[in-house]
Amino acid sequence: MTLKHVTPFSIAYQSADAAMADPGLGGLPEWDLSVFYSSIEDPAIEQDMADAKKLAEQFEVDCKGKLAEIAERSGDELAEIIRRYEELEDMMGRTGSFAGLSYAGNTTDAAHQKFYGDVQEKLTTASLHLLFFTLEMNNVDDAVLENALRSEKLAYYRPWLEDLRKERPHERSEEIEQLFHEKHVTGAAAWNRLFDETISGSRYEIDGEELSIEQTLTLLQNPDGEVRRKAASALSKTFGKNLSVFTLITNTLAKDKDTYDRWHNFDDIADSRHLANRVEREVVDALEEAVRAAYPRLSHRYYAMKAKWLGVEKMHFWDRNAPLPQADTRDIPWTEAKSTVLDAYKKFSPELAEIAEQFFDKNWIDAAARPGKSPGAFSHPTVPSAHPFVLVNYQGKTRDVMTLAHELGHGVHQVLAAPNGALMAPTPLTLAETASVFGEMLTFKDLLANAETPEKRQIMIASKVEDMLNTVVRQIAFYTFERQVHELRKEGELTAEQISAIWMGIQEESLGDAIDLEGGYENYWTYIPHFIHSPFYVYAYAFGDCLVNSLYAVYEEAEDGFEQKYFDLLKAGGTKHHSELLAPFGLDATDPAFWQKGLAVIERLIDELEEMDQAD
């Protein structure tokens, strides 16, 4: 099993690196990483990695082969061993986080590339001395461990120990796990880097000017249809040039995952992701089934309505995210985006806003879009002894404001969960999306309440529906695509044409007849990073959106007490199963009706848009 501090740096984004932001947006912050080190040349980095290796070696000498005996002898003593292990995780995680964030800030710079690679390799070497620990812990007899848990100190770690036990059916011998662990740097992690650096270095020519993918994708939201067409054409052309590279990466990683899954006794191609998310396969299957069945009521219906608004029978695929004719397309200054999000957070909870404001005041945000910077947006929790960092590529669009609200939700969640420590602060992806989507919803509802005219209300609702369709319909379509690609890869290597055919078939199913996908869309699967960095990650977005739709309905109907329950959910981090966390709100994700409630929220917004349309 892969240790946290050497997990490939996960970038939750939808596009790639951007050119410099418009100066009209105001001063855009860049993060201050000095909580870790002064720079990538800081001599403390080498010293810390050497110390980590030495401490890991000593930990192995002190503990290997002795855990069962220690557990039988003293729960307090075993708790102290776990505490030492946790401290090592945090120590290595600090260096790994700094390397990952530094690399994200400049993925195309040779010095940062080398630094990131070197740190990964050294941390992997050091962590080999820790790999025995979780394997040996899972060999401690259940009865012995349960008796040891009478210790108050050890009982603190019960949630982590119970989660660890869930890994037991999928663990192999220490020697085999060491091989998988050590080969990861030259396997999946290397292919991840190749993808990142290919995307970050790619350029897209429009009217003689070379743009980054972030800039080019942003043009798909331009009010001018001809601009959107040119952007789509440029994307298709460059994707086509790199098609063989992306096809090789996809085939290699799918085969690599299949090999890992077979050796670790996972039956279904997504089971390892479900285990990491602490969610049952049946729950995810029910989610996928519910969303796919709802395509006609949601995306098909909305895009048919949007085509009519744009004055066409069928939209081209490059018009899917086009602004409506009356939409406000001005650039929103950074200061306005900040106040918009913080004001919405504050109306729900002053404490929520106070935590979020730290990200602005203490330079925990990198907002400027610049050459070589990692694309899109993410919030990296780093380690409990530090604090999270948020990356966005702010370009002044309404969606950028909502992205800021989303990532700050993650950041607040990570701050609140951090006191659980390095082992129990991390939250499963399915629940990690709760605070982010809730933050978006708070911001949307606040803006909607201030809509000055019915026309502005209509445009805002339409924009929110599109965001929800991108979060629910699009991500489940992505999940279905991944499933088909990984299943077919078991039978042999896939050609680019085969992958593109799968892509097009699933996009047609999810988007409906109102969108014409001809003209270059067949290769758009190539730039989706989640397929590369985190296979089957994408369903977590749909899970989180449907969950928050239901949660927000409870909030609107709730009397006193909702805020405290919500904070308790966020503070729990990874210490509780989703069923425990949702129970106080009267929600149950194992109930098929749960997903229908979440989807019904989107459906009602589309109903409202139809009523407005008919009234006009």
Secondary structure in 3-state letters for 440-493: HHHHHHHHHHCCCCHHHHHHHHHHHHHHHHHHCHHHHHHHHHHHHHHHHHCCCC
312 and 175 co-located in one domain: no
Give one DSSP letter per residue of 62-83, joined into a string: HHTTTHHHHHHH-HHHHHHHHH
**Residue among 479, 502, 125 nearest 277 (CA):** 479
Q: How far apart are CA 199 and CA 16, in angstroms?
A: 6
For 575, residues 6+ apart whose C-beta sits below 8 A from its C-beta are 159, 160, 420, 424
Task: Find residue 366's DSSP bridge partners.
Answer: 391
pLDDT in tens, 188-221: 999 999 998 899 889 999 999 999 888 899 899 8
How many folded domains does the chain comprise? Answer: 2
Q: Are residues 63 and 169 in the same domain?
A: yes
456, part of any domain: yes
Residue 296 carries which DSSP code? I
Same domain, 302 and 437: yes
Domain match, 491 and 582 both: yes
Within this chain, do residues 432 and 500 fall inside the same structural domain, yes or no? yes
Q: What type of residue is 456?
A: K
Its domain, for residue 124, covers 37-186
SS3 210: strand
Q: Is residue 235 part of a domain?
A: no
> Residue 351 domain-assigned?
no
Residues 173 and 265 reside in one and the same domain: no
**Which of 186, 205, 225 is where one domain is finished?**
186
CATH of the domain at 555: 1.10.1370.20
Q: Please indicate, yes or no, whether residues 254 and 167 belong to a single structural domain of this protein.
A: no
Q: Can you tell me the mean pLDDT for 392-411?
A: 93
One domain, residues 153 and 281: no
Q: Is residue 395 part of a domain?
A: no
CATH number, position 95? 1.20.140.70
Residue 416 maps to a domain: no
Q: Is residue 193 part of a domain?
A: no
Final residue of a domain: which of 186, 211, 233? Answer: 186
Does residue 408 contact residue 390 with C-beta atoms inside 8 Å? Answer: yes
- In this structure, is residue 212 part of a structural domain? no
Do 439 and 541 have their domain in common? yes
pLDDT higher than threshold 50 for residue 12: no
Let me know whether 467 and 580 are in one domain: yes
Give the predicted TM-score (pTM) of the model: 0.86
Q: Please say which residue of 121, 155, 186 terminates a domain.
A: 186
User: 291 in a domain, yes or no?
Assistant: yes
Residues 42 and 140 in one domain: yes
- 362-378 mean pLDDT: 90
168 and 267 co-located in one domain? no
Q: What does the pLDDT read at residue 616?
A: 65
pLDDT tens-digit readout, 513-570: 999 999 899 999 999 999 999 999 999 999 999 999 999 988 988 768 899 999 999 9
